[in-house]
Amino acid sequence: MRRVRLIRQVRVVGQAGAVGQAPVVGRRRLIRGVRLARGARTLAGALLACAALLGPAALPALADTTASPSDGSDATSAASDDAGPTEAGTSFRTAAAMQLDQQATASASTGDYLYWSFPADSGQRPTVQATVQLPTSPALHAASTWQIDVYDGLRRRQACMYGTQARTAATGTASVRLACTLRPVRAWAEPWANDPLPGTYYIRLTAVDLGSADVGLPFRASVKAASHDAGGAYAVGGSLSEPLVPGISMAAAAGSDSDSDSGTGDRASLAEGEPDGGWASGWATDRWIWTGVGGVLAALAGVGGYVLTRGRGPRYGPPPQG
For residue 81, the model assigns a pLDDT of 55
pTM (predicted TM-score): 0.67
Question: Is 179 exposed, middle or buried (CB count within 10 Å of its CB: 0-12, 13-18, 19+)?
Answer: middle
For residue 199, the model assigns a pLDDT of 93
Per run of 10 residues, the mean pLDDT along the chain (length 322 residues) is 48 45 56 66 66 52 39 46 85 94 94 95 93 88 93 94 94 93 90 90 94 91 92 74 82 58 55 72 66 88 84 68 67
The domain segmentation of the chain, as residue ranges, is 86-286
With beta carbons less than 8 A apart as the criterion, state whether 176 and 146 touch.
yes
For residue 77, the model assigns a pLDDT of 44
For residue 61, the model assigns a pLDDT of 40
For residue 65, the model assigns a pLDDT of 36
C-alpha separations of 156 from 13, 201, 202, 236 in Å: 95, 10, 10, 21
Angle at which helices 2-65 and 286-309 pack, to 10 degrees? Answer: 170
- Per-residue pLDDT of 160-208, as tens digits, reads 999 999 999 998 899 999 999 999 998 888 888 889 999 999 999 999 9
CA nearest 204: which of 225, 175, 228? 225
With beta carbons less than 8 A apart as the criterion, state whether 84 and 99 touch.
yes
- Per-residue pLDDT of 89-125, as tens digits, reads 999 999 999 999 999 999 999 999 999 999 999 889 9
Name the CATH topology of 86-286.
Jelly Rolls (2.60.120)
Q: What is the DSSP string of 274-320?
A: S-TT----SS--HHHHHHHHHHHHHHHHHHHHHHHHS-S----SPPP
For residue 259, the model assigns a pLDDT of 52
Kindly give, in sequence order, each residue whose CB lies less than 8 Å from that of residue 206, ignoring residues fewer than 6 positions away: 111, 112, 113, 114, 146, 147
For residue 19, the model assigns a pLDDT of 43
